[in-house]
Structure 1
Amino acid sequence: MSTEQAELRARLEARRGGVHGPFQVLLRSPELGGRLEELSTSCMRDSALPPRLRELTLLTVARRFDAQHSWLAHVGRGEAAGLDPAALARLARGEEPGFRGPDERILHRFVEQLLADHFVDDDTYAAALAEFGERTLIDLVIVTGGFASLALVLNTFQVDLPPTAAPPFPDVTGFRRTPRDNAPAAS
């Protein structure tokens, strides 16, 4: 382990109680990995989003990217922050979650559009701006990108679930999505 890796490991252990999930991989690229860890920490601690909506953002990203490890690490936190467990179960199954709060519905729609289309339609943008304000909306986009980066690290480097954990997504087996009945045929 290089000096930089040892320093990052020490920081991860101090901040996070160990080197878990995507941070196992980030340790192998200590300069950029350390910066992504700092962004992740800032997203969780410094964002204008309240904890409930931060967790909803993370869980929406985790489901969109099939990042089962992230989902399992945060679903309990989301519930503890006030997210409806039944809505989260629907989200995990790939169904319309039917979140209770208007802020949750707006946020989920915004993040889904951002990740699926790479743009947000005018109505969704206007609703999100009215609900959250400009600073929070900017933070939401940054948080979404940070969480997406971590999801990509988890999946690319196949960071496995804890040995006793059941996979949370019925359409994902290991690191492969199972075909859906309505999925377009591969060409």
Structure 2
Amino acid sequence: MARIAPIPLERMTVAQRHLHDRVASAGRGAAVGPWAVLLHVPEVGEQLAGVVECLMSETLVPPKLKRLAILTIARAYAAPYEWAVHEPRARAAGLDAAVIEALRTGARPDFGDPKEALVHAMTNEIVLARELGGSLYSRAVDALGEPAVVELVALIGFYIALAVLLVAYDVEAPDGASAFGP
């Protein structure tokens, strides 16, 4: 994290320590990645932690489709931390290894599941064109239902914001490697 210094535990304010502990107890072990940046504004970090908890809970969008959207965003923004954290979770959620590799390399994935193709198309259109066209939106509502589409668009928007934060602060993958090549 070249742009902002991590805050040592012993120097954290009460609010920073609360956010650190909340994030650490959610299975991350410590406030790393975007959370290390957000410790500098714990009031914002607390609110965003709540959004993550909501979006990643048992909701209308299946975990595999959530992780597909997140990996699509991570690749589009070249956010190695986001990729490194969510790639194993996408595999665990059942996203095909060939799809993951195609996303990683920037190739067009060959989706066996039409819902995966739809989520990928939606995410790409929102990220790259900064819109969601009427035809694609209608197909998404028909396939997923309107409440799930609202949830998915909220997830896409949130993870775009996290990708921007990660890129702006040069947050590297935990192992320091780039998932996308040299």
Q: Specify the alignment match of 2:92 in structure 1.
A: 80
**Does 2:35 align with 1:27?**
no
Measure the CA separation in 1 of the matches of 2:42 and 2:76.
Answer: 27
Which consecutive segments of 4 or more residues in structure 1 shift more than 3 A?
none
Indicate whether 1:7 and 2:7 are aligned.
Answer: no
Distance in 2 (CA, whole Å) between partners of 1:10 and 1:119 is: 37
State whether residues 27 and 34 of structure 1, in contact with CA within 8 Å, keep that contact through their aligned partners in structure 2.
Answer: no
Deviations for 1:137-177, whole angstroms, at most 9, x for unmatched residues? 000010001111111111111112223x532113xx4xxxx
Correspondences of 1:40-79 after superposition (within 5 Å) = 40-79=52-91
Higher RCO structure (Cα 8 Å, ≥6 apart) = 2
Residue matched to 1:176: none
Partner residue of 1:134 out of 133, 140, 146: 146
Equivalent residue letter for 1:12: V
Return 5+ residue gaps in structure 2 as ranges.
1-11
Q: Distance in 2 between matches of 1:36 and 1:127?
A: 30
The AA in structure 1 aligned to 2:167 is: N
SS in structure 1 at match of 2:78 = coil
User: TM-score, normalised on structure 2?
Assistant: 0.88
Distance 1:46 1:39, change over 3 A: farther
Cα offsets for 1:47-102 (capped at 9, x unmatched)? 32111111111111111111111111111111121111111111111111122100
Amino acid at match of 2:80: Q
Q: Give the whole-Å Cα distance in 1 for the aligned partners of 2:33 and 2:122.
A: 26
CA distance in 1 between partners of 2:163 and 2:64 (Å):
19
Q: How does 1:164-175 map to 2 (within 5 A)?
A: 166-170=177-181, 173=182
Matched residues in 1 for 2:160 and 2:59: separation? 16
Query: Any unmatched runs of 5+ in structure 1?
Result: 174-187
Take 2:72 and 2:123, find their aligned partners in 1: how far apart are those partners?
A: 7
Q: CA deviation at 1:46?
A: 4.5
Give TM-score, length-normalised by structure 1: 0.86
RMSD: 1.4
Secondary structure (helix, strand or coil) at the match of 1:73 reads helix
Equivalent pairs: percent with the same residue? 32
